[in-house]
Amino acid sequence: MGQLKIKQVRSIIDRPKRQKETVKALGLGRPNWEVVHNDTPQIRGMINKVSHLVVVEEMKEAKPSAKKKPAAKKSKESPEKD
């Protein structure tokens, strides 16, 4: 399953309420905003309903980088008991 890069290219001003809600459900809201979603039938259906407002680009599956932040070092010092 691939991923889709969705970019809003037109404003939702003066659009029917259902189209506005669909754009918001895709995670968009303003022109030139971009989001990445998995390519599922549900997302494709939403894109079809607002295809005149968005541009879709299929992304090649790239493995996410395995770089992670190093874990914070735990202090081995224990409070001294008297």
Q: Is residue 34, in this structure, part of any structural domain at all?
A: yes
User: Residue 33: exposed, middle, or buried by beta-carbon count in 10 A (0-12, 13-18, 19+)?
Assistant: middle
Q: State residue 75's pLDDT score.
A: 65
CATH number of the structural domain spanning residue 27: 3.30.1390.20
Q: Which domain holds residue 52?
A: 3-59
Q: Is residue 29, in this structure, part of any structural domain at all?
A: yes
Number of domains in the chain: 1
Query: Does position 76 have pLDDT exceeding 60, yes or no?
Result: yes
Whether 68 and 42 have beta carbons less than 8 Å apart is answered as: no
Mean of the per-residue pLDDT values for the chain?
87
